[in-house]
């Protein structure tokens, strides 16, 4: 595809996994609902095709990880936060429920170890096999929004 001024390529709208999570978390019933409740370490295992995109990641730093929560329901608009039936029903866009129209997970993770296409991270609440969509620098309120 060539780029010229005024060209407006239209990206297809399917998400394509660039890797998968390897985690001891295997089902939603046993997964903690928030990272601070104690999520385990996990490995991010990337596809060889995206190796060049990974080359500037460094162990010891934090990044934002975007995943596709493929065991979610997409027809849910109102939930009870953390599944607590004592809490009032809340619009999903005010919650971090995995059930939502586009089930994209957003996780701040610490990179512990990088071994080519495998990256070990701390505190990731994502089930084993969850597709990885993207990695981004953390948002820094002072320098970018």
CB of 23 to a second copy, least distance (A): 15
Binding footprint of a second copy, residue count (CB under 8 A): 67
Handedness of CA 100, 104, 108, 110 (dihedral sign): positive
- What is the Cα 136 distance to its own chain's centre? 10
Q: Single out the residue of 25, 42, 63, 126 in contact with a second copy (rule: CB under 8 A).
A: 63
Q: Single out the residue of 40, 53, 59, 113 in contact with a second copy (rule: CB under 8 A).
A: 53
Interface with a second copy in residues 86-145 (CB under 8 A): 90-96, 100-104, 106-109, 123, 131, 133-137, 139, 141, 143-145
Token reading at 29: 């019933």
Q: What are phi and psi of 52, to 5 degrees?
A: -60, -30
Residues 6+ apart with CB under 8 A from 77: 91, 92, 100, 101
Name which of 90 and 118 has its Cβ closer to a second copy: 90
Token reading at 34: 């928030």
Q: Single out the residue of 11, 48, 60, 115 in contact with a second copy (rule: CB under 8 A).
A: 11
In angstroms, the CA 72 to CA 99 distance is: 5
Q: Single out the residue of 40, 45, 59, 78 in contact with a second copy (rule: CB under 8 A).
A: 78
Under a CB-based contact definition with an 8 Å cutoff, are residues 124 and 35 in contact? yes
Rule CB under 8 A: which residues touch a second copy?
Answer: 1, 3, 5-6, 8-16, 18, 27, 29, 34-36, 50, 52-57, 63-64, 66, 68-75, 77-78, 90-96, 100-104, 106-109, 123, 131, 133-137, 139, 141, 143-145
């Amino acid at each position: 595809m060539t780029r010229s001024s005024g060209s407006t390529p239209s990206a297809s709208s399917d998400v394509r996994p660039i890797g998968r999570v390897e985690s001891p978390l295997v089902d939603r019933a046993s997964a903690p609902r928030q990272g601070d409740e104690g999520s385990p370490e996990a490995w991010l295992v990337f596809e060889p095709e995206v190796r060049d995109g990974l080359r500037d990641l460094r162990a010891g730093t934090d990044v934002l990880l975007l995943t596709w929560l493929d065991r979610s329901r997409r027809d849910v608009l109102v939930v009870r936060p953390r599944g607590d039936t004592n809490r009032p029903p809340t619009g999903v866009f005010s919650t971090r429920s995995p059930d939502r129209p586009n089930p994209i997970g957003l996780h701040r993770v610490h990179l512990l170890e990088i071994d080519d296409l495998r990256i070990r991270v701390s505190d990731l609440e994502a089930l084993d096999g969850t597709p990885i969509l993207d990695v981004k620098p953390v948002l820094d309120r002072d320098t970018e929004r």
